[in-house]
Structure formats: structure tokens, C-alpha cells
Amino acid sequence: MKIVIAEKVSPATLAVLRAEADWQILAHDELEKAGGLAASLADADGLIVRSAVQADEALLAAAPRLRVIGRAGVGVDNIDADAATRRGIVVMNTPGANAIAVAELTIGLMLALAREIPRANATMHAGRWEKKSLGGSEVRGKTLGILGLGRIGLEVARRARAFGMQLIGHDPFVAPAVARENEISLVSVEELFRTSDFLTLHVGLTSQTAGIVNASTLATMKPGARIINCARGELIDDAALAAALAAGRIAGAALDVFSSEPLKDSAYFGMDRVLLSPHIAGSTAEAQEAVGIQIAMQVREYLKLGVVQNAVNVPSLTYEEYRELAPFAAMAQKLGSFLAQFAQGTAAQAAPGLEGIELTYYGRLAETKTELVRNSAVEGVLGGALGHTDAVNRINAPGIAAERGIRLHEVAQPGAIGAAGSALRITLHTAGRAVSATGTVLHHSPHRGQAEAEPSARLLSLDGIDIEAPLKGELLTLRNRDVPGVIGRIGTVIGEHGINVANFALGRPDTSDAGGPRLALAVIQVEGGPLEPVLRELSGIEAIAEVHLVRL
């Protein structure tokens, strides 16, 4: 593996990655000697950035092997996530790693506003003793409104509670139990603005939160209220806040983030009741080390194990969730590839009018986060149908399907299917036909000396016929008339060509088609030798309706 670290990070961050044997780690101060960033990315698997490097379409074009971009921080404005997704690159960030730093600055700014500390300091340095005008107010007993109760918002609440403040908050995604544990009363956005003495913002930027502090909401606030923003500058309508401050309706504001950074021209300049800091909330030495170590660990876990954490363009899983779902994701990819090849006869042909992919989850699988399994199944279908798996992976597979007008439909069936506790059925819909296959994962007992056995992907049914077979290696699929002697003839032909049969599975439909002889279905796992002569000879047997080769 090769990891390029494009910006300065702590020695501890480098140590996480350099502990991996045979990994090449290129630090930011080594890039110039290596020919620059673009040249260094030509054979890189991972890229770690902070906020300065622009990971745009042009840079990604120089990185054909790149699999993951890690942002040591929260915002990903400097990363073209759409371009990364199209190229199958995971984009990760580190939300919450700097929560303590941001919470501490928030409390510090609140106290500075309440006690007018900056003005006290400035007048003293100017040789003036203005004790009478610098009384300020206490925060004890005041109402702190917290917009956003994620990691940072909750850390702010815990610290504010120690000051004896009354806590209210709004967050549609927080559990009431979490709010109760932190002694926060959940209220509407309207009540939050109306009753807060201090309002602190800790939400991300969305279409709903952009400009949430505006002329209308400011007009509902208590005269003398104060606002702190250490989240995103775009949350505030600057003209409206500046006007409210100038009119004296809002007593003060402390702003660490701005719509345009660095801040070069602002209506806030010269306002002595406005505290401005240059986006330093998460810039403590401890926080920077924490986000660096966290992103290094996330990149390492993804490249080594495939665990996706804190991704902004694909679903994220905990390590425990990944361990549970990884075998089913691997099975889904194989099942999708198998079915696509079976449906069209050969992986070299283009997909014959594929219109939709339907995924049905059974048992425990239906109750889990199925995005990883879904993406893997679509990857398998498209890789098997399009015949170039390098261009399709579990990151970009849904996007490629959408580009081709292929509809995805998911169904959850919590009940088990047969003896399988969890199973997946994939159905491919074309203009004239639907074909399906069901698979599961078997967990065997480990052999002596093994910590645990490798789970195996198994086919349970194909095209409506129950048939169990391994989903690996080279598989011959045949439809043959259900008459005596056919199975023996198939085995003879395979043996005469020096091919070994590793597994032979046979399934029979319940009824015949249109009153004619039943067509049985066989899936044969074979090993060794060229298979094209076998396919030609088997195709010539009168009782065999069709024969295909599937490679997994």
C-alpha cells in the first residue's frame, strides 16, 4: 500500500501508518522530492488531506489507483465527493475527534461575551481603568440554547451544566433519552430562539440550516441575547445579525467561522460587542493530533479490512457491524456476478436490456444495515454483465446503475428462508424476462489449529429451482431434459477432457413446461484444463438445452 499525506500531520499520525509492514508512507515534506503531489498519487492507494489541498477532478484524474481520501477534520469542502464517488473512492472525515476543543472554545467565548473580557483587556492595555462600565453578567441561571446535539453540542451542555445554566436544545435526530441524561429540555426551533439568553450553534450545513439565524429568527430573540457560532459561517445571515447588533437588540456575538474564509472584509469589523476568531475552535494541539490519529486509523482499517467509518459518500459501519455483514457482502458480490453471467450466457457480452435489480433480504439480514450488501450485489451484477470489474466497485456501483437507467428495488423479509437464518435473493429484470438466484453464507466449524473457519458463500436456488452449490471458482450451468442417462453422459464428457468435478448439484422443477419434459438444472464446480472444448461437446448432446460457463 502507498499512502500520500499531502499536508502536515503529527508524528503520532505518521506512526499509525508506518507501523504497517510493507506500506509506503509519503509525508507532505517528501512530496517535492518525489515530483509533486500529482506525480506521487500516480500509484497511491490512499490520500490524507486537511483543508488546504483541493482534491478536485483534476487531481483525482492523476490517481487511477486511489481507493480512499481521508480528511483530518470535519468539513470536506476541499474534496470533490461526487467525482470521488464516480471513481469508486471512499471519502472519510473525522467528526467528533475535536469535540472537546470546540466545546471548550464555545464556553470560553460565552464567558468572554458575558464578562466583556476582550474590552477589559483592551482598555487596560490602553491605560484606562474602566471598572464601573465592565461589570458584565453571570451565566449562572441563564438559559443556554443549543442548536444541534451531536458530540460537540453534548460536550458544550456538560460544561455549561457545571456553571448552573438552564439547558434547552433542538435536534430532530437526538434520542429523548440522551437529552434527559444530559438534563437538556428538547424544544422547537422557534422556542429555542425565543427563550435563549445564549444561543450556540452546532449543526452542519444543509438546505434547512443555511441562514437559520436571519432577520425573522433574530426578531424573536430576547433583547440582550448573545450568539456563539463555532459550526459553519453559512448558518448566519451576516447582514441581519450585524443590523441586530447595531440596533442593540442582540447584546453580542462570538464568531469563529464565516461564509467566506479568510475573512477580509466584514460588517462586523469595528463592532466592540463582536468577538472574532480565525476558525480556531478545533485547532488545539490535542485536537489536531486526535483527528490525525483517527483518520490514519480509519484509512488503515479500510485498506486492510474494508471497514468504512465516517464516510461522506457511502454508508458507514462500526467494526462489529462490518464483521457481521462482510461475509454477506462477499456472497452478494459473487451471487450478483453469477446471476448476471448465467442470465446472458457469457460475461463477455453486454448486458441484454437489464432494466432493474431487485434485492430481497431474509432473516437477520433484513434487520441490519443493508447498504454494503446492496452495493456489493450491484457491483457483482454490473461486473458480471459488463465484463470489466475494475471499473465497478461497491462505492460507485449504484451510481453506474443509475447512469444506465437500471432501477434498484429492495425488499426486507424478516422471516427466515428454509434453513438459512439469513439469505439474499437477487432478481434481474429485463424487457422480456426475470431471472433470480438466492444465496446465503455458511459458517463452518474451524479446523484444528484455526482460530475461526472462513465463511463460505452458497447458492440456494436458481431461476426458481432449489439447488445448493458453492459460489466460487469455475461453474458449469446446464439445463437438460430430465431423462435417464444425461447425468452420466455429462460426467463422462467432463472426465474425458481431464477436468475434475469438485461439486455436482442438481435441481428439478416441480412441474414441466407446457406439458413437455421437465428441464432439470445442474451447477457443476470444475477444476483444471481448458473448458471451451467441454462446452462445445456438451452443447452437442441432444438432451442438453443449454450450457454456460460462469467464472467467479
Please state, in angstroms and as integers, the Cα–Cα distance from residue 217 to each residue in 122, 213, 231, 244, following that order: 32, 6, 18, 11
Which grid cell is 26? 509519503
Strand order across the beta sheet in which 519-527 lies: 500-507, 519-527, 474-481, 544-551
Q: Is 371 a catalytic residue?
A: no
Please state, in angstroms and as integers, the Cα–Cα distance from residue 4 to each residue in 14, 15, 86, 263, following that order: 11, 14, 21, 30
Nearest to 325 by CA among 384, 376, 383, 390: 376
* Residues in CB range of 38: below 8 A, 6 or more apart: 59, 62
Which grid cell is 375? 452495493
Please state, in angstroms and as integers, the Cα–Cα distance from residue 396 to each residue in 11, 44, 382, 390, 405, following that order: 34, 19, 11, 11, 14
Catalytic residue among 138, 261, 403, 546: 261
Q: Is 72 helix (H, G, I), strand (E, B) or coil?
A: coil
Distance CA 191, CA 196 (A): 8
First and final C-alpha spacing in the chain: 25
Q: Is 477 helix (H, G, I), strand (E, B) or coil?
A: strand
**Pairing state between β 407-413 and 354-363:** parallel
Catalytic residue among 115, 119, 279, 481: 279
Which grid cell is 254? 462570538
Distance CA 303, CA 137 (A): 53
Q: Is 279 a catalytic residue?
A: yes
What stretches of 80-149 show up as alpha helix (H) in DSSP?
81-86, 99-115, 117-125
Distance CA 304, CA 390 (A): 19
Catalytic residue among 67, 232, 273, 429: 232
Which grid cell is 362? 431474509
Q: Is 215 helix (H, G, I), strand (E, B) or coil?
A: helix
* Residues in CB range of 346: below 8 A, 6 or more apart: 548, 549
C-alpha 378 chain-centroid distance? 16
Q: Is 261 a catalytic residue?
A: yes
Which residues are identified as catalytic?
232, 261, 279
